[in-house]
A and B are shown apart, each in its own frame.
Chain A
Amino acid sequence: MTVTEAATLARGARLDADVVVVGSGPAGLTVALDLAGRGIDVLVVESGGRGVSPEARDLDRGEVVGEPLRFAEAPYDTSSMRLRVLGGASGHWAGMCRPLDDLDLRARPWIPGSGWPIDRADLEPWYRRAEATLDLGTTGWDPEAWYERCGTSALLPGDRLTTTIFQFSPPTRFATDFERALEAPTGPRVVVGATAVDVALDASGRRIDELTLRRADGGTLTARATTIVLAAGGLEVPRLLLAWDGGRGVATSSGLVGLGYMDHPHRTAGQVRATLGSELPPLYAWGDAPGDGAPAKVWAGWSPTPELQEAEGLGQAVALLRFTDALTGATAEPTAVTDAMGRLVSWTIDPAVHRAVVTVRAEHWPGPGSRVTLGTDRDASGLPRLRLAWRPGPEEERTMRRTVELLAEELGRAGLGRVEVDPRGRPLAEGPLEIGCHPMGATRMGDDPSASVVDPDLRAHDVENLYVCGSAVFPTSGHANPTLTVVALAHRLADHLAGDAG
């Protein structure tokens, strides 16, 4: 319908709707647009404004008590991980997409806490819708389809590694790409500059009666709805649940809100010297996909097969090559050995000797070591600042190193190249550890109310009119970027809520 600045509304104004969605990122706007398109009265409340502001960004500042956060070879903080603005994190999203694998949703005995309460096949229809929402191509995720499209074949056939396809959204910027839908008479109402700082529960304690929204100038509004969808992002969702109800917390009876936090650990291994043909193989270097079919950007890497993961007790992981003639960073500094490796390959008849670096990303095993809690300081809205402990463990390190080692072995087996597994001889696990800016898992989904926060329909076990949508509900992380799954779950939730409404 319209996007309204909270500051233009009268102090104390009460907003009513069938559904209130807290957060306007990919999850929130997907749910809101789907429901509004079915004639349901939806109100979206967004803490940020139409544009990024330092004041809004400050609300995301928090304390990091675990592993220091690094991203893109630089120190990072919690306020950089989020984007408190209309459209949410889609405003700085790189667009990298991949659905979760069958294995990701299965219980794996060697990974404590693994297993989703839904099957991967259950998500399939919503993945198709999410692909359309995110403007992905239609070639799909089966490597064979991409080999056919690109006129190529598996670079490393065998039973230890599988080709893993990533596609890139343009990327979809929800605030601008869906602006027309948001402004349409049938669109949801959106109020920006309104932070959901608290809720009031009814006498039973099992329903949210009212949301308290705070403007930047301190003025408050209230919102009431039959259904509340909390879609504020993987860090903010647990923070709000812990802080709401006057600090007593909401949906916290399991004691699990904030626990099991996950973000994909990344490491940059060393360099690769490879002879992969006169041109870069079309799938394995990030770029436009050749061949017939809808335009698409694609990037393929390699993951240990499910069988090998089970045999060796590994988590999910993917190794990707970044090809460049102008390698940067510490791993690009020449040494006698890297120079020797380069000259070994430069002696080929084919002058196209590729230099690359290997980036490896692993599934973050769910566990109590990583969590979101509340700090003692408060932000300008009065909410306690978040405190983040992110601590990947030895299993993730073992998985990452083994994945790079497998890539080295398979490239060598194929006679294609050599890999510097430990950069400059320094063990891979001693190098800089980076996040993926993929906050997940701190309000996990499950059947058992004592072991999860939301049920398979994403409804809070403790609060019958509260739903959580976003990566916070992931019980496990896989290695895939979460946004495609987030949007798929949002479409699924919208269908569920529309069914309830009908």
Chain B
Amino acid sequence: MTSPADTRRHRAPGSPRASAWRSLRLLTVRDLKVRYATSVLGYFWSILDPLLMSLIYWFIFSQLLPRSLGEEPYIVFLLTAMLPWVWFNGAVGDSTRAFLRDVKLVRSVALPRWIWVARIVCAKGVEFLLSLPVLVLFALINGASVNWYILLFPLGIILMGALILGVGLILAPLVVFFRDLERAAKLVLRVLFYASPVIYGASDLPAVVAPLAWANPLSGIFALFRAGFFPDQLNWALVGVSSAITAVTLLVGILVFRRSVGGVLKEL
């Protein structure tokens, strides 16, 4: 099996044309444009989903039930993890169709293949960034206090992007061979939402299930997103373990992708 590493270079060396990054940007913009071109509300859809979810959980856990989870203000606590979760959920869900959705494009344009996955990470990442004003708004309304750990927010974004890319690089090619994976992924994502510290904090977990938080790279990443408002959520050991798991996921993703991409192109 020829590995894609020795993929032919079409451009003469030194040619300014067709850098992979430019193609990535073009495809990201294309994804966003297609998404927004087809709906009147456009941008608001990408905020509406996490906002509605957050409001529902806020209502249940701080108005209906006596709450012992998370921290005050609870709506800000929810949003700091909900917005990144929507990025993760959307991008991983979409990456199962990374090749299948634009099959003709993949069959007619010779780009470095990882771009087909990366553009999904980027498009959903841009939607995530665009949804951040909601967080700012609710933080202002509720008078949430901000500390210097807010500077860890970009680190959270980088780790999240790397994790999604890793998962996507594993999922995208395998779905082409094993179509049932698409459904399996949706199921796993639904379970993962409750298994991740979104509506609760990693420290709220009873000792029995604590290993769960350590095995889930999202715990450390959400901790980074939350630290700027809730410094008690920051557990450096957890962040370290999550970063390590993210790195391993990305590495496995690259290996799986390289091994399988030749077969994927034949299958399309």
A, B assembled together: no
